[in-house]
Structure 1
Amino acid sequence: GLLGYMDCARELDAQAKEKQIDSATVYVAVGSMGTYLGLYCGLKAIQSNLKLVGIAVMPFDMEKLKAYFKQAKEEYGFDFDGDFHIETGYIGKGYNEPEPRVREAIYTMARHEGILLDPCYTGKMFAGVLSMIKEKKIKLGRQVILMHTGGMPGLYTKAHRLKFEHELKDQIIVVK
């Protein structure tokens, strides 16, 4: 994951420059840490102006991230230090546990942008971002980039699917 997301960081930086949002903050879900650390190292290596904030989707261990970073530095010869920003206050019930606030975030994104988020990673990250906006940790008008890392099949796991179906059943209209 780390190497793939280092490449992703270069592409993301180029696209942000093209769109003139190269001082935006990128938000990404943090689970096993490979995505976050790959983006972090990639953005640092190219001296990008993009800022990176991880939103933990499961219990987070900073010492584990530091050890992973140390290993990456040794392996790839990075000459920068780790100044990580991980938000840990939005984990909720735990890893992949169905939660109303996450489903509401998924509904919001789907209704406004037509983008489906998963209930384990990107939905939980977006729920965290929405909370951060309400808490004024993210100021209105600030440029943000939300990293969608996939996971859509999680929408169809039984525990999540049943909650979605129950909440949405009165809003479904079948046209004949």
Structure 2
Amino acid sequence: YVTHDQTEAMTLADRIVVMRAGHIEQIGRPLDLYDNPDNQFVAGFVGSPKMNFIKGRVVGHDARGVVVELAGQEKTRITQPLTGTAPEIGSPKIGSKVIVGVRPEHFGNAGEGDADLVVAIDVIEHLGGTSFLYARTANGDDVVIQRDAAKVPDTSEITVSIRKSYLFDEKGLRLR
């Protein structure tokens, strides 16, 4: 069965083949694609709203992994463990640009995660029990934040957790 509707595919399929420009990007069960995307294309394609992508750069390495500074928020750093990066990708070098991926439902309240960042909220979409906050980071990356709370200030501090974030290199390949 072929569909361009990812919601339909996630609902009906036992296995999904995600293709782009005639090439297979990833094959897997719906939740495996959602929870463990191989690249930025699959991460952004599977899920609604799509995964958020925040620019960053590698500023160091330590025993826990690669240290990433989020663009526009120089004091906001996250250490991402790299346990299984493919040999052809390797560990990113200091100064390399990277992308941190976070699903809308995985942003937490400030102080509850590994790295807090300030966002400016542009629009709040109330959908009953769930609200989506459309916001912008200090460097201009657009993000969507899923919240249960209906009352949110104009500027908000949120947090990113390393356990619930993804790291991609400049080419969009997942760093693990």
Q: TM-score scaled by structure 1?
A: 0.24
Choose between structure 1 and 2: higher strand proportion: 2
Write 1 or 2 for the structure with the bigger share of helix: 1
TM-score (norm 2): 0.24
